[in-house]
């Protein structure tokens, strides 16, 4: 596994493309260099080549598709389930001639990633689940997102109250999560998920299948996530054979936005096979 | 307070109608404008000495119109030549992106060229610079730290040995070495917790700019806390520097208006984040700005990351000058209007070094000269009285750790480190073991021979360095056992000597007892005098004991010696 980065200049360059997959056109961003990584967004679609894309692209050719329908807020008629999205993403890989890839899925994207890993385990190199939806029933009932108004959705999604200072180009940059584009798109994503599942963030039938996932898996979780609570991370870990959990302190449902530096360090270490402790991360045994 | 002049050499000829999609490549650079611009900036900076500034700083940025000074060591050299007494500093070199020894050499040159007026400084560089250099930003902090330690060693020690993640240096010794002894502390920007800690640990001067007063205070307070609570030393005002952009004019309203325009242009010239579409990861951690959480409503609400937005906001919003000032971005107006804010800024943040830039953005040469003159006349006398170091001790603590004081006894001195050869049982000079008996004593010796001069006439020498002010001589390690493997007694005599053909030019480099070896760490002692074994010379390491004592077995595998010396091969054709 190569560990040398191709450099920030390469990682910052990206293209916006689209692939015709069956009857559906899939828009995507692509950048970086190295083995392919498919990055499936969550409630909020990708807002551009952001810090998390750049960080991953320092070591991978990152493909960040926008789930068809997610941009317009209207699901295509061909999509009636999460499994439909999973099949579409596999077809997207075919269209882009990606035989095998690392797969990173956040939130809804994690749920889709789980189905991909079950449908075509041979095509997944490593799997990263970030605050993944998907579980329901028993000790881990799924949140019904249709019951959350704007304030409740914000409160469930983010650990940060008020303004967050993140590392920027000229030192610390204040970031207003509530007032920014990210949260607006989260609310759009809420509508999409309601259209798709009625608002349920998981399915009862998924848990028994998890033992079929063979890829080495990292389960990244914001410790204060209230959309997909931390308990779900440990249930995933207990069912996915080759998995481990990394809990990011001070983050909610979007650790890649609230703790981008920590998120990238922990994910890149996993992708590169490096076993280095990262400050602000609690590890749990396999 | 000490006061320094500073300027970004911002390219003056950018068209004002560029959209954010346009990347500022050098297509927009007219070098003839730069020729004139260099002359003006250097004149403005050099004039600071006439006005009584303590010094002049220059900095570097790369791949940007905002500062056409990609090698500030060059402009520092010019300024050194144009001034006589004031300090000339750089703040600074992007040390992680250059070979650290090259930086050290240039710093030493600048110090010598200036007769000891140089102030060293360093930065990690802007993320956009790491993009164009195509480096991994996750390595930035460690590269920076390694580079600093190498540069500092090179400037303060005779030899540099360093083994790191990014650099391996072996016994380099730079020429020239700096005049200033001790070498002054480096200056560096320190805004993140990690940088603040690094600065405090190395007793550096921490700088901050383009931030509100409270951010400077938080950064410097954290430095003071780390130094006091964790490192046991008390920083003085001189450990901190604030840099402020300024435009002064006699007509207050006009100066305010001009200052806002100048700063808008500076934002424009910073370039657009085309190659760096979002904040670059890796430079910092999510813990880096813990000290800033309570103070997020600062400068960057202006959108420094998006210059076109920043420029438009600057033009359109009311009271923009006040916002710019309170954000710590730009002070403009009459001298009186600026003085009060600046005094409060320095007192609140607690810095004892003020760096001021008078030519901002597209400000003109004439405006900069006038602004500088007004500052010197009206503000400098006031600011001089602020944050004066109360005692010299704090200032003394500022200096970089001096070289160890060398004493004639050699105590505390290191062994000679510049060895390039080891004489030992396997050396090609080894001839064999000799045994002599005389006057009731037995002497056993390892006999060595320096080769005859080579066929091509190249001479060789083996030099055994003796004590010098900087070291106690080369290391001689000796371990001796009897044929039974027992260590011999301490009273055995040990002699290291060399002599030329016919036993001429005899030199004794060590004459003592074996007990000196057994009493020393690693059985290692220093040569007592220098010796030079030339071609065809013999070298002998002998051990003598009464014939009744247990004799060392020099053939035993545990009987070993090592002389860390210097072998000099001169190739005449080279």
Tell me, what's the ipTM? Answer: 0.89
Domain B421-569 has CATH 3.40.1350.10: no
Per-residue pLDDT reduced to its tens digit, B408-420: 456 689 998 877 8
Q: Which residue has the higher pLDDT, B12 or B535?
A: B12
Domain ranges in chain B?
Answer: 2-398, 421-569
For residues B202 and B170, what is the distance between their CA atoms, to the nearest angstrom?
23
Q: Could A7 and B134 be called an inter-chain contact, meaning their C-beta atoms sit closer than 8 Å?
A: yes
Question: Residues of chain B whose C-beta is under 8 A from some C-beta in A?
Answer: 126-128, 130-138, 191-192, 210-211, 273, 275-289, 292-293, 296-298, 300-301, 304-305
pLDDT of residue B420: 80
pLDDT band at B398 (very low <50, low <70, confident <90, very high): very low
Q: Is a pLDDT exceeding 70 seen at residue B399?
A: no
Q: Is a pLDDT exceeding 50 seen at residue B552?
A: yes
Per-residue pLDDT reduced to its tens digit, B305-327: 333 344 444 444 446 888 899 88
pLDDT of residue A259: 95
For residues B519 and A65, what is the distance between their CA atoms, to the nearest angstrom?
71
Q: Could B210 and A170 be called an inter-chain contact, meaning their C-beta atoms sit closer than 8 Å?
A: yes
- The mean per-residue pLDDT over the stretch A252-277 comes to 96
Tell me how long chain B is: 574
Domain that holds residue A153: 8-284
Q: Which residue has the higher pLDDT, B457 or B422?
A: B422
Q: Is a pLDDT exceeding 60 seen at residue B403?
A: no
A3 in any annotated domain: no
Measure in Å the smallest separation between the Cα of B537 and chain A Cα atoms.
52
A2 in any annotated domain: no
For residues B347 and B386, what is the distance between their CA atoms, to the nearest angstrom?
7
**C-alpha distances in Å from residue A30, one per residue of A195, B240, B325:** 28, 44, 41
Per-residue pLDDT reduced to its tens digit, A62-115: 999 999 998 878 899 999 999 999 999 999 999 999 999 999 999 999 999 999
pLDDT of residue A170: 67
- Would strands B560-569 and B421-424 be described as parallel, antiparallel, or unpaired? antiparallel
- The mean per-residue pLDDT over the stretch B354-375 comes to 97
A46 in any annotated domain: yes
Nearest Cβ partner for B305 among A8, A173, A260: A173
Q: Is a pLDDT exceeding 70 seen at residue B407?
A: no
pLDDT of residue B456: 56
pLDDT of residue B392: 53
- The mean per-residue pLDDT over the stretch B53-73 comes to 95
Per-residue pLDDT reduced to its tens digit, A173-196: 677 788 777 888 898 899 999 999
For residues B200 and B203, what is the distance between their CA atoms, to the nearest angstrom?
5
Q: Which residue has the higher pLDDT, B289 or B234?
A: B234
Q: Could B304 and A169 be called an inter-chain contact, meaning their C-beta atoms sit closer than 8 Å?
A: yes
Nearest Cβ partner for A262 among B127, B275, B286: B286
Nearest Cβ partner for A172 among B126, B130, B191: B191
B361 backbone dihedrals φ, ψ, rounded to 5° = 55, -120
- The mean per-residue pLDDT over the stretch A231-258 comes to 95
For residues B442 and B414, what is the distance between their CA atoms, to the nearest angstrom?
34
Number of domains in chain A: 1
H or E stretch covering B140: helix B140-156
Q: Give the rounded distance of the alpha carbon of B280 from its chain centre.
A: 26
- Alpha-carbon dihedral of residues A256, A260, A266, A269, nearest 10 degrees? 110
Percent of chain A at pLDDT exceeding 90: 77
For residues B563 and A174, what is the distance between their CA atoms, to the nearest angstrom?
61
- The mean per-residue pLDDT over the stretch B150-167 comes to 96
Q: Which two tokens stand for residue B386?
A: 């602020």
pLDDT of residue A242: 96
Q: Could B280 and A51 be called an inter-chain contact, meaning their C-beta atoms sit closer than 8 Å?
A: yes
pLDDT band at B426 (very low <50, low <70, confident <90, very high): confident
Per-residue pLDDT reduced to its tens digit, A12-32: 999 999 999 989 999 999 999
pLDDT of residue B391: 63
Per-residue 3-state assignment (H helix, E strand, C coil) for B49-65: HHCCCCEEEECCCCCCC
As its CATH architecture, domain B2-398 has Alpha-Beta Barrel (3.20)
Question: Exposed/middle/buried for B421, CB within 10 Å: 0-12, 13-18, 19+?
Answer: middle
Q: Is a pLDDT exceeding 60 seen at residue B160?
A: yes
- Number of other CB atoms surrounding residue A195 within 10 Å: 14
Q: Which residue has the higher pLDDT, B72 or B416?
A: B72
Q: Which two tokens stand for residue B320?
A: 């923009």
Per-residue pLDDT reduced to its tens digit, B246-265: 999 999 999 999 999 999 89
B523 backbone dihedrals φ, ψ, rounded to 5° = 55, 40
Q: Is a pLDDT exceeding 70 seen at residue B20?
A: no
Q: Is A9 on the interface with B (CB under 8 A)?
A: yes
CATH code for the domain in which residue A113 is found: 3.40.50.1820
A13 in any annotated domain: yes
For residues A162 and B297, what is the distance between their CA atoms, to the nearest angstrom?
10
- Alpha-carbon dihedral of residues A67, A70, A75, A77, nearest 10 degrees? -30
pLDDT of residue B427: 83
């Amino acid at each position: 596994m190569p560990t040398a980065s191709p450099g920030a200049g390469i990682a910052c360059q990206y293209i916006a493309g689209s692939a015709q997959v069956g009857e559906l056109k899939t828009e995507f961003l692509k950048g970086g260099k190295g083995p392919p990584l498919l990055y499936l967004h969550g409630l909020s679609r990708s807002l551009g080549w952001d810090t998390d894309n750049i960080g991953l692209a320092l070591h991978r050719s990152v493909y960040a598709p926008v789930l068809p329908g997610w941009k317009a807020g209207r699901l295509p008629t061909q999509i009636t389930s999460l499994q439909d999205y999973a099949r579409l993403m596999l077809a997207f890989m075919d269209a882009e001639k990606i035989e095998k890839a690392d797969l990173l899925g956040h939130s809804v994207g994690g749920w889709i990633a789980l189905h991909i890993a079950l449908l075509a385990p041979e095509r997944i190199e490593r799997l990263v689940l970030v605050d993944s939806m998907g579980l329901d029933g028993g000790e881990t009932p799924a949140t019904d997102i249709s019951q959350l108004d704007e304030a409740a959705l914000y409160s469930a999604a983010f650990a940060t109250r008020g303004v967050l200072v993140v590392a920027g180009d000229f030192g610390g940059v204040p970031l207003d999560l509530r007032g920014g584009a990210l949260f607006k798109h989260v609310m759009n994503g809420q509508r999409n998920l309601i259209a798709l599942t009625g608002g349920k963030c998981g399915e009862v039938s998924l848990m028994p299948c998890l033992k079929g996932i063979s890829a080495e898996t990292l389960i990244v979780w914001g410790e204060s996530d209230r959309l997909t609570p931390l308990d779900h991370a440990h249930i995933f870990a207990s069912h996915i054979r080759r998995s481990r959990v990394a809990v990011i302190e001070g983050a909610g449902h979007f650790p890649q936005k609230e703790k981008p530096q920590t998120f990238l360090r922990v994910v890149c270490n996993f992708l590169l096979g490096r076993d280095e402790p990262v400050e602000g991360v609690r590890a749990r045994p396999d | 307070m000490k006061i320094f002049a500073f300027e970004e050499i911002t390219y003056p000829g950018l068209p004002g109608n560029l959209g954010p999609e346009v990347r500022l490549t050098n297509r927009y650079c007219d070098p003839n404008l730069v020729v004139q611009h260099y002359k003006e900036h250097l004149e403005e900076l050099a004039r600071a000495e006439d006005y009584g500034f303590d010094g002049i700083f220059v900095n570097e940025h790369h791949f940007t119109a905002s500062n056409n000074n990609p090698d500030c060591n060059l402009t520092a050299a010019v300024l050194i030549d144009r001034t006589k007494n004031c300090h000339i500093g750089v703040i600074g070199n992007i040390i992680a992106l250059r070979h650290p020894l090259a930086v050290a050499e240039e710093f030493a040159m600048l110090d010598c060229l200036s007769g000891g007026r140089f102030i060293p400084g360093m930065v990690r560089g802007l993320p956009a610079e790491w993009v164009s250099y195509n480096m991994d930003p996750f390595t930035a902090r460690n590269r920076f730290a390694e580079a600093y330690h190498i540069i500092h060693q090179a400037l303060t020690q005779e030899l540099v040995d360093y083994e790191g993640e990014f650099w391996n240096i072996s016994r380099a010794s730079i020429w020239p070495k700096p005049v200033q002894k001790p070498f002054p502390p480096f200056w560096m920007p320190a805004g993140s917790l990690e940088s603040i800690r690094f600065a405090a640990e190395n007793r550096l001067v921490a700088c901050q700019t383009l931030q509100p007063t409270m951010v400077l205070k938080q950064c410097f307070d954290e430095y003071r806390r780390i130094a006091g609570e964790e490192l046991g030393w008390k920083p003085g005002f001189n450990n901190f520097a604030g840099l402020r952009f300024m435009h002064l004019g006699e007509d207050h309203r006009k100066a305010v208006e001009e200052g806002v325009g100048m700063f808008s242009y500076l934002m424009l010239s910073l370039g657009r984040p085309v190659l760096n579409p979002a904040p670059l990861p890796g430079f910092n951690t999510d813990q880096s700005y813990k000290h800033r959480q309570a103070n997020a409503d600062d400068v960057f609400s202006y959108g420094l990351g998006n210059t076109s937005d920043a420029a438009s906001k600057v033009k359109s919003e009311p009271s923009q000058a006040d916002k710019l000032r309170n954000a710590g971005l730009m002070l403009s107006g009459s001298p009186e209007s600026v003085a009060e804010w600046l005094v409060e800024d320095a007192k609140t943040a607690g810095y004892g070094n003020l760096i001021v830039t008078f030519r901002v953005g597209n400000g003109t040469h004439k405006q900069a000269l006038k602004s500088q003159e007004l500052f010197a006349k009206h503000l400098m006398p006031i600011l001089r009285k602020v944050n004066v170091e109360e005692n010299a001790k704090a200032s003394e603590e500022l200096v970089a750790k001096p070289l160890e004081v060398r004493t004639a006894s050699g105590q505390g001195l290191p062994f000679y480190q510049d060895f390039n050869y080891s004489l030992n049982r396997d050396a090609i000079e080894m001839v064999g073991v000799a045994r002599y008996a005389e006057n009731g004593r037995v002497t056993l010796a390892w006999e060595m021979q320096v080769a005859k001069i080579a066929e091509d006439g190249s001479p060789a020498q083996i030099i055994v360095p003796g004590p010098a002010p900087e070291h106690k001589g080369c290391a001689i390690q000796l371990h001796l056992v009897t044929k039974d493997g027992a260590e011999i007694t301490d009273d055995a005599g040990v002699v290291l000597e060399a002599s030329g053909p016919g036993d001429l030019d005899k030199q004794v480099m060590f004459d003592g007892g074996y007990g000196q070896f057994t009493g020393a760490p690693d059985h290692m002692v220093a040569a007592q005098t220098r010796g030079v074994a030339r071609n065809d010379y013999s070298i002998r390491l002998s051990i003598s004991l009464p014939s009744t004592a247990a004799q060392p077995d020099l053939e035993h595998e545990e009987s070993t010696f090592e002389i860390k010396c210097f072998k000099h091969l001169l190739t005449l054709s080279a």
